Amino acid sequence: MSLIRWYPLITFFVLACALSWWPWILYSFDLLANPIVGFGPFLAALVVLALTEGKSGVGGLLRRMVRWRVGLRWYAVALLLPIVVTLTAAALNVFLLGAQRTSSVAELGGWSTLLRTFFLWLLIPGLSGTWEEPGFRGYALPRLQVGRSALLASLILGVLWAFWHLPFVVTGEDIWIDAFLFPIEWSIVFTWLFNNANGSVLIVMLFHNMNNSFSSGFVGQMFSGADSVNQAWLRLGLWLVVAIVVCVVYGPEHLSREHRKQEEPVQPEASTASPRVV
């Protein structure tokens, strides 16, 4: 207990990998369809909070997950920005690089399929990356922002988040551009949205889910081979532009002009805190 209280963030990241990577072995024997459990970081956050802060810590995270009063503009950002970036990348891929679409919107099932995918991936843990957010943004980010700028905290979390995707690259389920590079720059945009939305985990879950369902689950299926790789590079470049604009306009310290960083209060030191078990 003392070790966990002294190093809660390290404990969280180790647990996040352990609770997420265990299907890797089963996947290698074709016993599971995915080498990672997407809600592993959420489970890791619940375990660490239960052991270090008890019911109040767990309750605080759960309340962030249903914090919906954050302003309509942040809902618009969460739901529309991934669509704009993805469609811009697709347009550049087709008209600038000459990519050939292998599927059309109609062949992929149209917008009804997109909406169905969006809500399934949002509501059912493990189907997509949506349920990573209560762990990475809901638990880790507020603690990483204590004593650090929002930009530095974002980059640290981005690197750790990229490492978490390792099984996807090793097994060939994802390309290294999306698994390793994308999370680092995308993490900055996440922090900007999280801080401006008053620490709402719900908003970043919507943001993550819209990007996955629209970019990977829909538009990404329209390209294959080299065109698919070019789409990934174009999307990476466009999100980098978004991240740079966010840093310049909102400032690296808070990535917000109206709100401060969302920081978690410092907990008592292990030597003075009494263990609490729930």
Q: Which domain holds residue 236?
A: 70-250
Nearest-angstrom CA–CA distance, 140 and 153:
9
The confidence score (pLDDT) of residue 68 equals 94
The confidence score (pLDDT) of residue 181 equals 94
Per-residue pLDDT of the chain (278 residues; tens, 9 = 90+): 777 888 999 999 999 999 999 999 888 888 888 899 999 999 999 999 999 999 999 999 999 999 999 999 999 999 999 999 999 999 999 999 998 888 766 666 667 788 889 999 999 988 888 999 999 999 999 999 999 999 999 999 999 999 999 999 999 888 889 999 999 999 999 999 999 999 999 999 999 999 999 998 888 888 989 999 999 999 999 999 999 999 999 999 999 887 778 887 655 444 334 333 33
Asked if residue 34 is part of any domain, the answer here is: no
The confidence score (pLDDT) of residue 270 equals 41
Neighbours of 115 (CB within 10 A): 11
Asked if residue 57 is part of any domain, the answer here is: no
Please give the tally of structural domains in the chain: 1
Asked if residue 106 is part of any domain, the answer here is: yes
Please answer whether residues 233 and 92 qualify as being in contact, where contact means their C-beta atoms are separated by less than 8 angstroms. Answer: no
- 49: Cβ contacts below 8 Å, ≥ 6 apart: 57, 58, 60, 61, 139
Which string of b and e fits 53-64 if b means at least 16 CB within 10 Å? beeebbebbeeb
Q: Of 181, 179, 190, give the one whose Cα is nearest residue 78.
A: 190
The confidence score (pLDDT) of residue 101 equals 81
Asked if residue 99 is part of any domain, the answer here is: yes
The confidence score (pLDDT) of residue 230 equals 94
Asked if residue 30 is part of any domain, the answer here is: no
Would the pTM of this model clear 0.85, i.e. be above it? yes
DSSP sequence for 84-148 = HHHHHHHHHHHHTT----SS-TTTTTHHHHHHHHHHHHHHSTTSSGGGGHHHIIIIIHHHHTTTS
The confidence score (pLDDT) of residue 59 equals 95
Nearest-angstrom CA–CA distance, 116 and 75:
19
Estimate to the nearest angstrom the gap between the alpha carbon of 13 and the chain centroid.
Answer: 14
The confidence score (pLDDT) of residue 202 equals 97
The size of the chain, in residues, is 278
Asked if residue 2 is part of any domain, the answer here is: no
Asked if residue 63 is part of any domain, the answer here is: no
Angle made by CA atoms 101, 95, 235, in degrees to the nearest 5: 75
The confidence score (pLDDT) of residue 84 equals 97
Nearest-angstrom CA–CA distance, 27 and 34:
6
* Tokens describing residue 39: 């809600």
The confidence score (pLDDT) of residue 267 equals 52
Asked if residue 43 is part of any domain, the answer here is: no
